Amino acid sequence: MEYTKKNIITAKAGNAIMFFICLGILAYALLYFFDMASLDWLFRLINNGSDTTAAPEALKTPVMVIAGCIFLFGALIFFSDLASSSKVKKALSEFSEDDVLDQMNNHAAYVYKIKGKDPCLFVTDKYIVCKNNFICNTRDVSWSYIEYYKQTPRMILKLRNNKECVIGSNPVYDKKNAEINTAIDKLLPDGLIIGFDKEQKEAHKERVKASKE
């Protein structure tokens, strides 16, 4: 299998569709709020087609609040995806798309994929590529640990400039984070700091300090 740009970044059409659906719901709610549209059809549908069923006037504010929350949820997902895509595109341009793809196809030390899906993480001699998430220089990686975010474990890589790269939860759930760490560790002259405690945190700080000198 030859990896292509689609294995680095893909447009998530579903998120865009969901955003515009949420936008449509908000627009209709606004029309309803200003008496330019009606929800009587919805109440007739709920009440088996009764022509006497009309939407209560008191529903206007709750409908606007609900529609606003739905829109904010859709916008958050859509623009978060857009921001991640822009970040990956920028990194791909800086590192050179041809070089990144050459590394993925010819110099991969480890490839991780979620069961039943395409590969989503590549550890290569020169780069670590996390699909739709980040690209970084392998030699820049300093520290790997598991962090709990809202009770969900996720794998984190810290770079020597102290930048944080979030791989996510799947490697932890699939028990592949140790394999990823081993692959990275073998590629670093001074090894990978693994785990989170005071000693490892201080070791990482020393690397960050050294990188600034």
- Residue 53: the pLDDT is 54
Query: Mean pLDDT across the stretch 186-212?
Result: 94
More confident call, 46 vs 172: 172
**What is the Cα–Cα distance from 154 to 34, expressed in whole angstroms?**
45
- Residue 146: the pLDDT is 95
pLDDT in tens, 5-31: 888 887 666 777 888 898 999 998 898
Check pLDDT > 90 for residue 100: yes
pLDDT in tens, 44-55: 776 665 555 555
Which residue's entry shows tokens 């895509």?
85
- Residue 207: the pLDDT is 95
Q: What is the DSSP letter of 7?
A: G
Kindly indicate the confidence band of residue 130, based on its pLDDT and cuts at 50, 70 and 90: very high
Q: Beta strand pairing status for 119-124 and 108-113?
A: antiparallel
Q: Is the dihedral of CA 102, 103, 104, 106 positive or negative?
A: positive
